[in-house]
Amino acid sequence: MFDGNWRTTVDKGLTPIGHSLRRTGITADVITVIGIVMASVAAVTIGAGYTRLGFLFLLLTGIPDALDGAVARASGTGSDRGAYFDSVSDRLTDGLLFGGVAWHLASTEPGRIMMLPVAIMGLAMFISYQRAKAESLGYDAKGGIMERAERIIVLALALLFAELLIPILWVMFVLTAITAIQRFVKVWKQASVDRPLAARQQRRQPRARQRATTESQWRQRMRERRSLRDG
């Protein structure tokens, strides 16, 4: 939802900051690494039970996550390598943060409630995979009610109001599951429109190859007959 409505506006607003950071000599990769370090500190802090302090480090994690792309654009160093590193770091950051929440719940709550953030993390990875696979096939899988930016915002609220942590996590789980369904349906519809044409092309290709083989064999026999006749 954030990507579709506000991503472009936010990126434009961060462009001047990206130019300022570029002049200091800092690179986008360094900013990404700083974000991973902040996420690691946040995960340990949350796991130790200091949820409000974890909220602060979570905010500090979001700053590098927002600025690395701005620095890359300002310096003209955007590349497939950088995009890959940024995407991998996002998945790693998600795993660290929700792992920290699971660690905290395992230490403070009875039963298996610590599996709730693990389930959210699994759904988040599934959503990311849906987008990556769809885009590799030429489809659009962006959108949904609970994308990564929304998950980080809701997680921040859960850490700030620790007494509501579990109810907020349940809300996040439901909305993340809905997002997974939304993306699946979106790509399924796009692929369903393309499938009849693709199927026709697949049926035509064997026939075309068979026709080409037949014509080639006919020409070969004609050449052999001419050779015998001329010889």
pLDDT tens figures, 103-124: 999 999 988 999 999 999 999 9
Residue given tokens 């109001």 in the structure block: 161
Contact 117, 102 (CB under 8 A): yes
- Chain-centre distance for alpha carbon 24: 30
Of the residues 3, 90, 94, 194, only one is catalytic, namely 90
Give 3-state DSSP helix, strand, coil % of the chain, rounded to 5.
85, 0, 15
Spatial neighbors of 127 by CB under 8 A, at least 6 apart, are 144, 147, 176, 179, 180, 183
User: Where along the chain do its domains lie?
Assistant: 2-195
Could you give the count of Cα atoms lying within 13 Å of 82 in the half-sphere of its Cβ? 18
Is 65 an annotated catalytic residue?
no
Q: What is the CATH number of domain 2-195?
A: 1.20.120.1760
Task: Classify 140 in phi/psi space as left (phi over 0), alpha (psi -120 to 50) or beta.
Answer: beta
Question: CA–CA separation, 46 vs 42, rounded Å?
Answer: 6
Contact 55, 2 (CB under 8 A): no
| pLDDT per residue rounded down to tens, the chain (231 residues) | 655 555 666 666 666 777 777 777 788 888 889 999 999 999 999 999 999 999 999 999 988 888 877 777 777 766 778 788 888 999 999 999 999 999 999 999 988 999 999 999 999 999 999 999 999 999 998 888 999 889 999 999 999 999 999 999 999 999 999 999 999 999 999 998 855 544 444 544 555 455 555 556 656 555 555 544 444
